Structure 1
Amino acid sequence: MRVQPLVAALLVALVAGCGPAVAATDDRVPSFRPAPPRPYAVGVRHVVVEPGGSRPLPVTVWYPAEPAIPAHAGQETAGPVSLPDVPVAAGRFPVVVYSHGLHSLPDLHAPLTTRWAAAGFVVVAPTYPRTNLRSRDFTRADVRNQPADGWRLIRHLVRLDARPGDPLAGHLAVDRFAAAGHSAGGFTTAGMFTSGHSRRLRAGIVIAGGGLAGSFAGPVAPVLFVHGGADPIVPESVGRAAYARSLGPAAFLGLPGQGHGEYLTPGRPGFAQVLATTTDFLRWTLYDDRRARDRLPADGVLPGVTTLTTRALPGRG
């Protein structure tokens, strides 16, 4: 996959602290169980995709855990506490593939990803081999290979769901994936939406990122863009250009005056709006939750802090 010249220049500009599609014939399943009415406890486990291959992919998995697990003091403000290897809650859950940025790690995004897991999603976050914080052979150019890693992970999870004895077996809604990511992970997310991509991938969230060559081709999937208006690393104009190029329903959550990701930190201006908007976007696109869709305009607008632009979102009903 070739990177467009503008995007290539931006990837070179990405600095430390940023916190090929597979064609298929699977059809979308129109009905699904209702979105959970209350939060779950959150479990966490770690797996490695193709550990003996040329490009092993460590993955952090946050998942809804049995609600009987007691709440922890301070959880309301600090977010869910991730409990290692506890039982998965009953039922099947949609899956979100979350991609980190340059010089970053999945755990650095836990304030957002654990809250998504508590809302009823399995969140799988790969540690990309040549762009993560601890990489010994770091190279920005490897971002172009990461969309294929995301699809390797999706195929692995489809197989894992059918693997007898695995704790996640039977708990993954393998027809309901979303891709999300920050910075270089946002470019990675866009790169998963190339022509002929599987309909398993039903939605995308691009945070402080933009498009790679060939991004946003069919099948059509809704995409949410989140971007700071004063981002010094990936200018907001890059995110808005990707929004304009995307196909079908789309939304752009802007944070005027903000930079490359401070709004992803709990307690900072805009975090509550980013959390509400992304969570309801996932509830709408992966759980078919129309009430969540109808909440999006209110989720994403706080005068002086956030703005929301939408295109072709279905009406109320």
Structure 2
Amino acid sequence: MTLKRLVAALMTALLAGCGPAATAAPGAPPPGRPAPVAAYAVGVRTLTVDPASARPLPVTIWYPAEGEAVAAGRFPVVVYSHGLHSLPELHAGLTTRWAAAGFVVAAPTYPRTRRGAPRFDRADVRHQPADGWRVIRHLTRLDARAGDPFAGHLDVARFAAAGHSAGGFTTAGMFASGRSGRLRAGIVIAGGGMAGSFAAPAAPVLFVHGTADRIVPVTVGRAAYQRATGPAAFLSLLGQGHGEYLTPGRPGFEQVLATTTDFLRWTLYGDPEAGRRLPGDARSPGVTTFENRLAH
């Protein structure tokens, strides 16, 4: 644990019914199970993947907590990717709320696109999908490592990838041909596709985009949405730019939080009620619109 040991509780942890899940083979859909119905306190852990390599990868991990420990049960995992000149902690308004809802959220700090990178290189985004997969493999090992705080708490059959801006492109790039079936869903925020994105096997993808985005135009996100071969949905933030809707209290944040959280509940917990709530979560007259090609 670091000085960020424990993010203040978003609400008192009341959850009692999130027991261990049966682990399915990576290529087979795991059985559904009840999603949490009350919020957890949130803890935070930092670690470095491959610290002795040429490309060490610091990772910030938010998790459902009881005291300083991981809460009882197994939790699906979301790999969250930041954008250019950003950092994981700048996205904590969203990621901590996902953790409170019953997900482990692992956010890598990318070495050449992060804020303050000594050798900033936007072209390095093409290497970041592989970094995301390194995080998945590392967490899978930690779940099986006796004595690790995460051992037995990570549902390694249920990963999702999510990210904003360049992190959205990174997320799309993780859905390339030949990937592990552990990666079951994606959320692309103010991003678009990469070469080879959305290859089989198809996985549900939620796109989130401001219609007045001048950095990554909404047409880029919509083109990726049209390319997605599996179930997909598109949440538009009307008149908004590149990400102000990710800030708590700003217009659209409530809809983004509800839609992304229920999308993760549906895809990672197999919660059909969450899937049915998505259109209602997403739509707010004058604030959002929602296009839905999801099957639930």
TM-score by length of 1: 0.85
Q: Equivalents in 2 of 1:32, 1:87: separation in Å?
A: 25
Instruction: Name the residue aligned to 2:295.
Output: 314
Question: What is the RMSD of the two structures over their aligned residues, measured on CA atoms?
Answer: 0.9
Give the % identical residues: 75
Paired residue for 1:138, among 113, 117, 120?
120
Instruction: Name the residue aligned to 1:284.
Output: 266
TM-score by length of 2: 0.91
**Per-residue CA distance 1:252-294 (angstroms, 9 max, x = gap):** 0001110000000011100000000000000000000000000
Instruction: Name the residue aligned to 2:46.
Output: 46
Q: Equivalents in 1 of 2:183, 2:26: separation in Å?
A: 11
Instruction: Name the residue aligned to 2:15.
Output: none
Greater shift, 31-40 or 232-241, is seen at 31-40
**Per-residue CA distance 1:37-78 (angstroms, 9 max, x = gap):** 100000001010000001000000000001xx5xxxxxxxxx
Q: Equivalents in 2 of 1:248, 1:215: separation in Å?
A: 12
Paired residue for 1:249, among 231, 238, 246?
231
SS in structure 1 at match of 2:127:
helix
Instruction: Name the residue aligned to 1:21.
Output: none
Equivalences for 1:292-307 in 2 at 5 Å? 292-307=274-289
Q: Equivalents in 1 of 2:265, 2:54: separation in Å?
A: 36
Contact 2:30–2:157 under 8 Å retained in 1:
no
Contact 2:32–2:271 under 8 Å retained in 1:
no
Q: Equivalents in 2 of 1:106, 1:52: separation in Å?
A: 22
Which residues of structure 2 form unaligned runs of 5+? 1-24
Instruction: Name the residue aligned to 1:261.
Output: 243
Q: Is it true that 1:225 corresponds to 2:203 in the alignment?
A: no
Equivalences for 1:41-80 in 2 at 5 Å? 41-66=41-66, 69=67
Paired residue for 2:76, among 89, 94, 109?
94
Which residues of structure 1 form unaligned runs of 5+? 1-24, 70-85
Cα drift, residue 314 of structure 1 = 2.0
AA aligned opposite 1:201: L
Q: Equivalents in 2 of 1:292, 1:28: separation in Å?
A: 21
Equivalences for 1:9-48 in 2 at 5 Å? 26-48=26-48
Cα drift, residue 29 of structure 1 = 3.9
Contact 2:73–2:153 under 8 Å retained in 1:
yes
Cα drift, residue 28 of structure 1 = 2.4
AA aligned opposite 2:162: A
Greater relative contact order (CA < 8 Å, ≥ 6 in sequence): 1
Q: Equivalents in 2 of 1:275, 1:281: separation in Å?
A: 10
Q: Equivalents in 1 of 2:188, 2:76: separation in Å?
A: 18
Instruction: Name the residue aligned to 1:75.
Output: none
How many residues matched?
Answer: 272
